[in-house]
Amino acid sequence: MAKTTEKKRAVKFKAGRASNGTGPDEVLEGYERIDKFEPQGLERISAHYADILEAIGEDPKREGLKRTPERMAKSLQYLTHGYDLDPAAILRKALFKEDYSQMVLVKDIEVYSLCEHHLLPFFGKAHVAYIPNGCITGLSKIPRVVDAFARRLQVQERLTNEIRDCIHDTLKPLGVAVVIEAAHLCMQMRGIQKQNSVTTTSAFTGIFLDDHRTREEFIKLIASKLH
């Protein structure tokens, strides 16, 4: 089991740095975030990271690296916590009958994932649309589904298809469209080292495949700046 996040009601808490002149001091109404990590997994991963530090010639006991294996283990558990999430269940939590049959588009969704080949990040934006067939889902559920699949070891091509298939199979819409644009550090900071390269993937179902006008409308909308 990977890292989970609980949220509890808090009367007030401070966001940002302490009020000592080093950053903003903002009092907010909201939630208190409590991060929890799976202890046995954390211990195992930390031990392996300590071995890796030694293997590259570092001293994991020196001051700057004493807690690095634990930090890396927590980071990895967070970056892969999508394995503990059920994307279809996320959509089903907010299903509503609605007589709306035009395009619903959520675009510019931030995507952060790990390439499964080198365990280096790839990141960018996802654009997700669907055309309801008597049923809609809460708008926030679309980015949550994107995150649930992205927070795993991934390749961009599979990530695109998994988002499409989950929405199509759960909502039973008239069609689904997904486009992801991402930069891959495995191409930018190593290997071919092409820093300006961007990879675009797309996946469609239903009316987005069968009707070129609907597909063109989607492409036009994700390329436009309406806000």
| Residue 212 is among the residues annotated as catalytic for this protein | no
For residues 126 and 164, is the Cβ–Cβ distance under 8 A? no
Active-site position among 38, 135, 186, 217: 186
Active-site position among 117, 157, 195, 216: 117
For residues 116 and 156, is the Cβ–Cβ distance under 8 A? no
- DSSP characters over 172-216: --SEEEEEEEEEEHHHHSSTT--TT--EEEEEEEEHHHH-HHHHH
Active-site position among 118, 135, 181, 217: 118
| Residue 81 is among the residues annotated as catalytic for this protein | no
| Residue 195 is among the residues annotated as catalytic for this protein | no
| Residue 156 is among the residues annotated as catalytic for this protein | yes
Active-site position among 77, 115, 162, 168: 115
Cβ within 8 Å of residue 14, ≥6 positions away: 25, 26, 27, 28
Active-site position among 154, 156, 162, 168: 156
Active-site position among 81, 127, 168, 184: 184
For residues 110 and 181, is the Cβ–Cβ distance under 8 A? no
| Residue 118 is among the residues annotated as catalytic for this protein | yes
Active-site position among 26, 43, 54, 116: 116
| Count of residues in the chain | 227
Catalytic machinery residues: 115-118, 156, 184, 186
